[in-house]
């Protein structure tokens, strides 16, 4: 079985307040993009995990792919598997690659072992692995609220737009980003996202940008450059460090090609 876990971008990200359970109340519009890792899952006599592509600096049992398998094994009568993960989506970049990998392990094992789990069951399982994981159980864009577990359909269509993403290879841990957070927004992303995209520049914000730009000024310079070259909207995705721009016309490569990619949505 070969699966292609996608990356995502955040079209706005409101961190509203810190909850009593230690998590943060948030609101975002998450949108999957055509940038993929590759995940191979095969039945095996013993569990084996192999990772290639971009280097992941974590122990095997700390990898979300392995955690997802262990979670499924502890809840259901499934056999062992061999999993090969090829990483293309950079880590600590705000693109959700690790969360997507974990969600797709759950989706893959559900099919491989004919578990017939509902979407809600798989979302609940994936929430145990991380707040962004449930979003990847389905392919549609969603307004996401709560700590990332509450979803609402959103009528947004970026088809035909060009997307440019620039990852400066600055790893920002989600935990550190939340610890530095001091910019809490209270506007409605859902209302803004339904306005013409030309209005997003002034109204659609990411709560993590202030601290990220303060600590890493080069990230803000990237965002400014995307606007200078014609982006109709540019933002940091998630807690960073990736900056993306949306364009009506195909943009040119203007950074080191190791750090930037261009897609048609």
Cα 18 to chain center, whole Å?
A: 21
CA 42 to chain centre: 25
3-class DSSP state of 43? strand
Clarify whether 132 is annotated catalytic.
Answer: yes
Pairing verdict, β 6-18 and 24-36: antiparallel
Measure the CA–CA gap between 265 and 259, rounded to whole angstroms. 19
Contacts for 114-123 with beta carbons within 8 Å, 24 or more apart? Answer: 115/76, 115/78, 123/149
CA dist., res. 222 & res. 225, Å (int): 5
Q: What is the 3 state secondary structure string of 65-116?
A: HHHHHHHHHHHCCCCCEEEEEEECCCCCCCCCHHHHHHHHHHHHHHHHCCCC
String of DSSP letters for 140-166: S-EEEEETTTEEEE-----TT-EEEEE
Dihedral angle, C-alpha 15, 18, 20, 26, nearest 10 °: 0
Strands laid side by side in the 162-166 sheet = 233-236, 243-247, 162-166, 260-264
d(CA 44, CA 46): 5
Catalytic residue among 37, 67, 132, 223: 132
Q: Which residues are catalytic?
A: 8, 132
């Amino acid at each position: 079985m070969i699966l292609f876990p996608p990356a995502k971008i955040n079209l706005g990200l409101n961190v509203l307040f810190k909850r009593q359970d230690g998590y943060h109340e948030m609101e975002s519009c998450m949108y999957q993009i055509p940038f993929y890792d590759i995940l191979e899952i095969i039945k095996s006599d013993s569990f084996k995990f192999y990772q290639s592509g971009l280097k992941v600096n974590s122990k095997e049992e700390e990898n979300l792919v392995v955690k997802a398998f262990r979670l499924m094994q502890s809840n259901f009568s499934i056999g062992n598997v061999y999993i090969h993960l090829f990483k293309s989506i950079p880590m600590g970049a705000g693109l959700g690659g690790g969360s997507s990998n974990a969600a797709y392990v759950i989706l893959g094992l559900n099919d491989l072992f004919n578990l017939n789990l509902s979407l809600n069951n798989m979302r609940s399982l994936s929430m145990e692995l991380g707040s962004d994981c449930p979003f990847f159980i389905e392919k549609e864009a969603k307004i996401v609220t709560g700590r990332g577990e509450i979803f609402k359909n959103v009528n947004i269509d970026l088809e035909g737009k060009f997307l440019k993403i620039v990852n400066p290879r600055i790893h920002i841990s989600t935990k550190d980003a939340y610890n530095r957070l001091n910019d809490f927004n209270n506007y409605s992303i859902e209302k803004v996202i339904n306005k013409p995209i030309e209005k997003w520049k002034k109204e659609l914000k990411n709560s993590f940008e202030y601290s990220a730009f303060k600590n890493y000024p080069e990230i803000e310079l990237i965002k400014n450059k995307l606007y200078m070259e014609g982006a109709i909207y540019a933002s940091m995705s998630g807690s960073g460090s990736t900056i993306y721009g949306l364009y009506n016309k195909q943009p040119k490569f203007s950074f080191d090609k190791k750090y930037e990619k261009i897609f048609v949505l």
